[in-house]
Amino acid sequence: MTDHLVTRNLSQIREYTKNNIELSKSHHFLYNCLVDKKENQGDVIIIGLNPGETEKDFEYRGSLPTEESSEFDFHEEHGRGRSSKNWLTLCKKFSQTNKIVLTEFFFWSSPQVGEDKERGIPFSERFGYKFEDCPHFEFCKEKNIELLEFHKPSLIMCPGVGYSELFAKIYALDYVGTFREPLKNRRAVIHYELNGIPFLFTLHWTSARLTKEETNFIIQYIGKVTKKLQS
């Protein structure tokens, strides 16, 4: 894959958004967003469920939906909110590098992936189907696999364990093991591989309300995996 094909994929995502009217209700899509804008390649790919979306985002005065990508990031014009800044800090903390690329299992933003009206517009009210029934996962998978081939990361991380089985099936991942932090005994890391690349689902870095012990457990596990790859 070349930079030309990254550009092609972004163009196809924009066109796909126009052709699927419910996706145009989102504030933005996220694909191939480099945490450090000075970098062209990422050593760690972080795949979220889908981009978050806040009321502040809609203060952006450009045309919508906009994007958070390597070609245009609306934050650079609009400014980055506190939650977005905090998320980037956590990405660097858990990855232990700045060479990070962000993408999503579902590229388009929403206030939540659930159905709790107290947390904002329910996912099904926004898009017309529940998250787990989304018809666009295969399209996103195709673009994500090409993204992985381009960056050739040493590690893929996915914050959140609730949908690990769903996406392990969609991406045909090879299961390695499940690892629990001893004190709370929650599933802290679910380890899969994709073509030999560690593909780790972890407790979510914000919504899971990690204890200090769980945070350290996850970071230490990631460190062991990456150290093993380097040896």
pLDDT in tens, 193-226: 999 999 999 999 999 999 999 999 999 999 999 8
Query: Cα–Cα distance between 203 and 136 in angstroms, integer?
Result: 24
Closest CA to 108 of 81, 88, 91, 129: 129
pTM, entire model: 0.95
Q: What is the pLDDT of residues 72-119, one digit of tens each?
A: 999 888 888 788 889 999 999 999 899 999 999 999 999 999 999 999
Q: What are the boundaries of each domain within the chain?
A: 3-230
Specify which residues 187 forms β-bridges with: 180
Q: What is the CATH number of domain 3-230?
A: 3.40.470.10
